[in-house]
């Protein structure tokens, strides 16, 4: 069943009104890779009537008024990607295409979509008593004072600029359901974990972050605010926080408790159509569906904590995995679906080979405040053993009508090398059956100075993994290769570092890299903190940061262009 998008569909379901209306910057893809679909289906499962308005026209009332007023709340999301990242490149050029828009033309998602959609609701529902709730990755990563690359300034928590009532952060199934129940039963919702709101008073017992005004005044205050924010994202150890903005306060309750494996099974076991809703499908092909239609999520969370990545802040540092039975059931259902050709595009998560691997200390006592799981080296408390993943892949391969199970999600090659029990067996399994000609890995850089600023281990393990990969390919008479994803212009990186990267790639990796992206400072990451402050927050030492877009492009060109075609 699709969630309704028109009143005609609402009436066909036997509903006379909706409890919750979800507004999204993506078109309505009914898959488990779409947060709007997951939240909507989860709420329906628990008895609520939910509708969807995708990519509404912000210049008229034709879309936003289509479903009337919800009984409980509006839920607004910019979509699966921050709208500014979706709309602009790393050098601030407007993107022409959008994979989450029918027809592929980038003409439906407004800049700062969360704010725009909330304003749209306020404009045409001036007397509506129901609250507006912000959610999704844009709201989640902009929930406290943050650096905004596109305006080159610090911005207030997004709830202030959007003039919304409530903000749900992180993975929102629990908080959005609890909020729906509280509003339905007219009970207090201000203690719900995983939400934030505006208050005239600070919250007693919560931690104080430096205010917006203090952060603007001194970069050191912004560093302190970010550190307190970052280290209070673990459900077991986090405290509530508040941050003053003018004469009001943003109150953030502690995060939602970690999901259990059973809860993950319940969420991903929901009935998804794995298609674009017909109301939007008529407007053209949606490219994003090509890769996610027959893909399967095995887990959430990532303890890699790369400094340029916000997954630790949004999904969490604790990996929660689904059961094998749940995953097998989903793949079996896909295999028996209409039009299936035999290939599963991906089985994974933020990092594919973290499935079934987590530190028992973290599960019981929360993430460590003084060290990371994989940097500067793999923590011995993280008992690496890929055997559970090998078992899962073998079960999936044996399902009737399955030709190929691909692993397209990122893979931490350092984890494979550090697994003395089954790392080689896992890599052999991938090489034999789960890649097609190439294996994608993301070293991001090769120079140890830059890797340390990225929060990644040194280049020696990259060389070791490369050698092992090609040895195993030769053993199994395979002619496959590695594709390397790299970043240019990360804080601390200069042209010499990129030239050194190019020499290393040529002499040691025997390649001329093509997959190179320019670093984009996105909200709520350590790398963005470095970009804004031009300091390494670990030691407060000044670092070089390239801020000229032409010179950023030059760093990329050093890698991607040949000597004959490079012009400066």
pTM: 0.96
State how far the Cα of 89 lies from the Cα of 365, in Å rounded to an integer: 40
State how far the Cα of 528 lies from the Cα of 474, in Å rounded to an integer: 41
- What sign for the dihedral angle of Cα 256, 257, 261, 266? negative
Quick check: 270 and 42 in contact, CB under 8 A? yes
Mapped onto helix, strand or coil, the DSSP state of residue 262 is helix
Mapped onto helix, strand or coil, the DSSP state of residue 305 is coil
What's the confidence (pLDDT) of residue 538?
Answer: 86
Q: Which residues touch 170 (CB under 8 Å, ≥6 apart)?
A: 140, 194, 233, 255, 256, 314, 315, 316
State how far the Cα of 174 lies from the Cα of 180, in Å rounded to an integer: 10
What spatial distance separates the first Cα and last Cα of the chain, rounded to whole Å? 56
Work out the number of other CB atoms within 10 angstroms of the CB of residue 223.
Answer: 19
Which tokens is 136 given?
């999704």
Annotated ligand binding at 80? The verdict is no
Task: Return the bridge partners of 500, or none.
Answer: none
Q: What is the third-level CATH fold of 438-568?
A: Transcription Regulator spoIIAA (3.30.750)
- What is the residue whose two structure tokens read 């040691």? 508
Q: The domain 7-195: what is its CATH number? A: 3.40.50.280
| Separation in Å, CA 556 to CA 91, 451, 515 | 11, 17, 10
Annotated ligand binding at 359? The verdict is no
State how far the Cα of 35 lies from the Cα of 33, in Å rounded to an integer: 6
State how far the Cα of 38 lies from the Cα of 58, in Å rounded to an integer: 24
Residue 542, φ and ψ in degrees, nearest 5: -70, 140
| Separation in Å, CA 283 to CA 102, 103, 279 | 5, 6, 8
Q: Which of 167, 173, 163 is nearest to 251 (CA)?
A: 167
Query: Greatest CA separation found in the chain?
Result: 70
State how far the Cα of 568 lies from the Cα of 551, in Å rounded to an integer: 10
CA-angle at 534, arms to 529 and 540, nearest 5°: 85
292-315 in b/e burial notation, b at 16+ Cβ within 10 A? bbbbbbbbbbbbbbbbbbbbbbbb
Edge to edge, what strands does the sheet with 515-518 contain?
A: 438-444, 481-488, 515-518
What's the confidence (pLDDT) of residue 293?
Answer: 97
Task: Return the bridge partners of 51, or none.
Answer: 21
Annotated ligand binding at 379? The verdict is no
| Separation in Å, CA 519 to CA 115, 305, 412 | 25, 16, 20
State how far the Cα of 37 lies from the Cα of 19, in Å rounded to an integer: 16
Residue 31, φ and ψ in degrees, nearest 5: -140, 165
Quick check: 127 and 121 in contact, CB under 8 A? no
- Where in the chain are the domains? 7-195, 294-436, 438-568
Per-residue pLDDT of the chain (568 residues; tens, 9 = 90+): 999 999 999 999 999 999 999 999 999 999 999 999 999 999 999 999 999 999 999 999 999 999 999 999 999 999 999 999 999 999 999 999 999 999 999 999 999 999 999 999 999 999 889 999 999 999 999 999 999 999 999 999 999 999 999 999 999 999 999 999 999 999 999 999 999 999 999 999 999 999 999 999 999 999 999 999 999 999 999 999 999 999 999 999 999 999 999 999 999 999 999 999 999 999 999 999 999 999 999 999 999 999 999 999 999 999 999 999 999 999 999 999 999 999 999 999 999 999 999 999 999 999 998 899 999 999 999 999 999 999 999 999 999 999 999 999 999 999 999 999 999 999 999 999 999 899 999 999 999 999 999 999 999 999 999 999 999 999 999 999 999 999 999 999 999 999 999 999 999 999 999 899 999 999 999 999 999 999 999 889 999 999 999 999 999 999 998 644 443 3
| Separation in Å, CA 314 to CA 11, 19, 142, 235, 563 | 36, 26, 11, 12, 41
Reported CATH class of domain 294-436? alpha beta
Helix spans in 336-400 (H): 360-365, 387-397
Strand (E) or helix (H) holding 242: strand 241-245
Quick check: 355 and 388 in contact, CB under 8 A? yes
- What is the residue whose two structure tokens read 């994003």? 288
- What is the residue whose two structure tokens read 């939007």? 280
Is 294-436's fold the same as 438-568's?
yes
What's the confidence (pLDDT) of residue 562?
Answer: 61
State how far the Cα of 4 lies from the Cα of 568, in Å rounded to an integer: 54
């Amino acid at each position: 069943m699709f969630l309704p998008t028109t009143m005609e569909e609402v009436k066909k379901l036997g509903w006379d009104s909706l409890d919750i209306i979800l507004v999204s910057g993506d078109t309505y893809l009914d898959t488990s890779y779409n947060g709007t679909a997951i939240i909507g289906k989860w709420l329906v499962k628990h008895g609520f009537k939910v509708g969807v308005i995708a990519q509404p026209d912000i210049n008229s009332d034709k879309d936003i008024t289509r479903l009337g007023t919800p009984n409980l709340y509006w839920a607004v999301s910019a979509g699966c990607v921050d709208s500014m990242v979706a709309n602009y490149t790393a050098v601030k050029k407007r993107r022409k295409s959008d994979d989450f828009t029918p027809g592929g033309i980038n003409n439906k998602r407004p800049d700062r979509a969360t704010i725009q959609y909330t304003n749209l609701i306020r404009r045409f529902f001036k007397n509506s008593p129901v609250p507006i709730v912000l959610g999704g990755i844009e709201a989640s990563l902009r929930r406290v004072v943050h650096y905004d690359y596109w305006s080159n300034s610090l911005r207030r928590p997004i709830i202030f600029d959007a003039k919304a009532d409530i903000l749900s952060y992180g993975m929102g199934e629990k908080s959005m359901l609890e909020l729906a129940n509280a509003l339905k039963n007219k009970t207090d919702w201000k203690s719900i974990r995983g939400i934030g709101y505006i208050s005239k008073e600070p919250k007693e017992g919560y931690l104080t972050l430096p205010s917006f005004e203090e952060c603007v005044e001194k970069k050191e205050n912004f560093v302190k605010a970010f550190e307190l924010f970052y280290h209070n994202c673990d459900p077991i150890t986090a405290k509530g926080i508040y941050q003053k903005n003018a004469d009001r306060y943003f109150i953030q309750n502690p995060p939602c408790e970690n999901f259990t494996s059973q809860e993950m099974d319940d969420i991903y076991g929901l009935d998804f159509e794995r298609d674009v809703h017909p109301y939007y499908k008529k407007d053209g092909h949606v490219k994003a569906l090509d890769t996610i239609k027959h893909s399967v999520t095995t887990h959430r969370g990532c303890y890699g904590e790369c400094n340029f990545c916000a997954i630790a802040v949004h999904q969490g540092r604790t990996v929660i995995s689904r059961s094998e039975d749940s995953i097998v059931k989903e793949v079996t259902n896909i295999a028996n679906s209409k039009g299936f050709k035999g290939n599963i595009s991906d089985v994974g998560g933020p990092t594919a080979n973290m499935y079934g691997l987590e530190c028992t200390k973290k599960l019981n006592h929360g993430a460590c405040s003084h060290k990371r799981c994989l940097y500067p080296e793999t923590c011995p408390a993280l008992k690496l053993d890929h055997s559970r993943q090998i078992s899962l892949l073998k079960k999936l391969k044996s399902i009737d009508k399955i030709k190929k199970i691909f692993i397209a999600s990122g893979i931490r090659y350092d984890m494979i090398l550090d697994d003395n029990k089954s790392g080689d067996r896992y890599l052999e399994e991938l090489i034999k059956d789960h890649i097609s000609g190439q294996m994608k890995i993301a070293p991001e850089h090769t120079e140890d100075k830059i890797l340390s600023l990225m929060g990644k281990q040194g280049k020696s393990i990259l060389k070791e993994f490369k050698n092992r990969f090609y040895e195993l390919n030769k053993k199994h008479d395979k002619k496959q290769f590695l594709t390397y994803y790299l970043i240019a212009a990360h804080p601390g990186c200069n042209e010499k570092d990129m030239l050194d990267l190019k020499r290393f790639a040529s002499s040691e990796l025997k390649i001329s890299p093509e997959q190179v992206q320019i670093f984009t400072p996105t909200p709520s990451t350590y790398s963005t903190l470095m970009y804004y402050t031009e300091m390494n927050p670990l030691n407060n030492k000044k670092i070089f940061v390239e801020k000229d877009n032409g010179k950023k492009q030059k760093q990329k060109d050093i890698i991607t262009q040949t000597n004959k075609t490079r012009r400066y």
